[in-house]
Structure 1
Amino acid sequence: MANIRDVAKEANVSVATVSRVINRLPHTSKTAIKAVNEAMKKLGYNPTEKSKSSNAHSAHSIGVLVADVSNSFYGLMVKAVDKVAREQKRQILISHGYHNADYEREAIELLVKNRCESLVVHAKGLSDEELIKFADQIPGLVIINRHIPAIADRCISLDNVKGSYQAVSYLIQQGHKNIGYLASSHNIDDSIDRKAGFRQALVDNNLKYSDALVVSGEPDEAGGAEAMSNLLAKNLPITAVATYNDFMAAGAISVLRANNIRVPEDISIIGYDDAGIATYLQPQLTTVRYPIQIMAEQAAMLAIELASMQTPDDAANNVYIPTLVPRDSVAKQ
């Protein structure tokens, strides 16, 4: 009886290529597909019944790609997808990309190999062009937290420019004119858009923007603490600081407290995302809410509908707007 190595030899390709064809993975050349299919037909080779059974079961799964599920933001996203999956009598398979193009590509291919016909993908490393190719080959693939014009109807995203603009505008409304910004050091569209919103809010309110006002760091507590220390070292007359996310804000508050700088009496702080940590900080953090749960629920339902060849709801809005959440970390100037 022929095996996969016999097929590879007959088709003059590698065993890995035969596996890619059998599992219908993306980015497999038409020439390879034709050669492998002809070789399997000639040799009478078919996937085992066990594999078919396993694949049939996996077809009822939803694949989820996140950067790192240990981050609470992605934990909320996965939980929301899982809620929809359970309602639809499905299970989820989770993979990680860590904002790395190679990892993201491998993760998507692995989920497809496991016959996840519906995919909710949070990818920041892969280019628009490669994600468009994946979307062309995988009918049930939906992109979350990213807007790609060519496949806009399959993207669920947030207007990050507007969210950051709202945050800084709120500080300005409270009388602040000297405002710093703690940016993420990750070169992804979220970082670029939120920094752009900060700058635009200053310009629209006739306040001078300077690169000196911006300090970058890892988008976590340690990164926020380091960035806040570096901003203080510049000895600028700032009265308020906007941050890339709530975790950076938490790190910033710890540094201000250690330096006997009161929040919000001396320096006001505003975050972004409305993560769980925001209500446990002292003072409670004023922030901008990122509705990741409802976005993830919509993405999961859309992925299921597309995979099932159903017509999505035309009335659904795929671009969400963040909302301000006033708490105690911002004071009037």
Structure 2
Amino acid sequence: MATIKDVAKLSGVSVATVSRVINKSPKASKASIESVTKAMRELGYRPNANARALVSQSTNTVGVVVGDVSDPFFGVMLKAVDKVARQHNKHMLIGNGFHEAKTEREAIELLINSRCESLIIHSKGLSNQELIDFADEVPGMVVINRYIPQIANRCIALDNHKGSYLATEYLIKHGHTRIGYISSTYDIEDTQQRRAGYIDALVANGIEVDENFIEYGTPDEEGGEKAMTNLLSKNLDMTAIATYNDYMAAGCLSIMDENGIASPQDVSVIGFDDGIIAKYLSPKLTTVRYPINIMAEQAAQLSVQLAKGEKSNEYPRMFVPTLVRRRSVLAK
């Protein structure tokens, strides 16, 4: 494998000159640029990214930590971040956190060690203090889908409680009072906030909260199937169900279909997120829109600005979810 010394020898210049050409220094002459470029091409030499970073103090990379890259929700988020990164001639490095403190910590440290000056972090496992410490270390770090008061100006979050409240209230306004809730088993703030939104909407409308109407599962189709199966086994007189997300709603609808329960005629169902799957279910799913693409774009823009030491624009830090009305909810 060719080295920088081989390039210098073939092009007839010093190693320092080769370095200046590689790092696009204004001190590099036209002649040296041409000779070095030719030598690099002939030798098949590729400049080491970390070596360039030592000179430029930048790798032109944006680091992103997500829960699980295989989750379509995070796919939308990553696509939005990548769009902004490309606008700034930067590339994206990705780490999976899986909502676990140890894994999230390792992913963030790896990105920092890779000299990512911009970081967009989706973390549910780490404590507020540890994220604050990382933010102190990396000026271009932004936290998405989480609100930490001490670094509020670097957080882009969603009002999960409001979204779940809206979903439950929508069912109540359609005459439903016996409303089940399918919740996630993940011990993260999203789970707590959305469950609280469901409960608070019931209380605000004078409906008694019955824990029998709440079941849990992993936040995917299988979890939705399991939770719905458990709800049906209790033989509850439910007319509607609110769910933690659209994938759990899909699992819920599948079990209903297997048991001859029609939606929305027999039981109305409402989701959360407005993911790609929502409009392709049968019936098309009424849900709460989580504007992750817009949030991710703004998080990336903010991160790049902060990394450059620029004053950030006044982005809306706390987004408010909205209802998307389709065909899975019917008035009782």
Normalised-by-shorter TM-score class: 0.7 to 0.9
Residue number in structure 1 paired with 2:290: 290
**Structure-to-structure mapping, 1:27-66, within 5 angstroms:** 51-54=50-53, 56=56, 59-66=59-66
Structure 1 residues 57 and 258, CA, compared in 2 at 3 Å: closer, same or farther?
A: farther
Q: Which one has the largest radius of gyration?
A: 2
Residue number in structure 1 paired with 2:326: 327
In the alignment, is the contact (CA less than 8 A) between 2:49 and 2:59 conserved in 1?
no
**Structure-to-structure mapping, 1:1-333, within 5 angstroms:** 51-54=50-53, 56=56, 59-314=59-314, 316-333=315-332
CA shift digits 1:85-111 (9 cap, x unpaired): 011111100010000100100000100
1:163 is aligned with what amino acid? G
Deviation at 1:51, TM superposition (A): 3.6
The secondary structure found in structure 1 opposite 2:103 is helix
CA distance in 1, matches of 2:129, 2:113: 21
> How many residues matched?
285
The secondary structure found in structure 1 opposite 2:63 is strand
Deviation at 1:50, TM superposition (A): 7.1
The secondary structure found in structure 1 opposite 2:265 is coil
CA distance in 2, matches of 1:83, 1:270: 31
CA distance in 2, matches of 1:222, 1:68: 17
Instruction: Give TM-score scaled by structure 1 length.
Output: 0.84
The secondary structure found in structure 2 opposite 1:269 is strand
Deviation at 1:54, TM superposition (A): 4.9
CA distance in 2, matches of 1:289, 1:96: 24
Unaligned runs of at least 5 residues, structure 2: 1-47
Structure 1 residues 50 and 189, CA, compared in 2 at 3 Å: closer, same or farther?
A: closer
In the alignment, is the contact (CA less than 8 A) between 1:65 and 1:123 conserved in 2?
yes
In the alignment, is the contact (CA less than 8 A) between 2:63 and 2:119 conserved in 1?
yes
Residue number in structure 1 paired with 2:14: none
Unaligned runs of at least 5 residues, structure 1: 1-48
The secondary structure found in structure 2 opposite 1:86 is helix
Deviation at 1:231, TM superposition (A): 0.6
In the alignment, is the contact (CA less than 8 A) between 2:286 and 2:329 conserved in 1?
yes
CA distance in 2, matches of 1:226, 1:114: 41
Residue number in structure 2 paired with 1:28: none
CA shift digits 1:9-65 (9 cap, x unpaired): xxxxxxxxxxxxxxxxxxxxxxxxxxxxxxxxxxxxxxxx87422554862110000
Deviation at 1:211, TM superposition (A): 1.3
CA shift digits 1:185-235 (9 cap, x unpaired): 000000000000000000000000121111010000000000000011111
CA shift digits 1:274-313 (9 cap, x unpaired): 0000011000000000000000000000001111100011
Structure 1 residues 101 and 50, CA, compared in 2 at 3 Å: closer, same or farther?
A: closer
CA distance in 2, matches of 1:108, 1:321: 28
- Compute the RMSD of aligned alpha carbons: 1.4
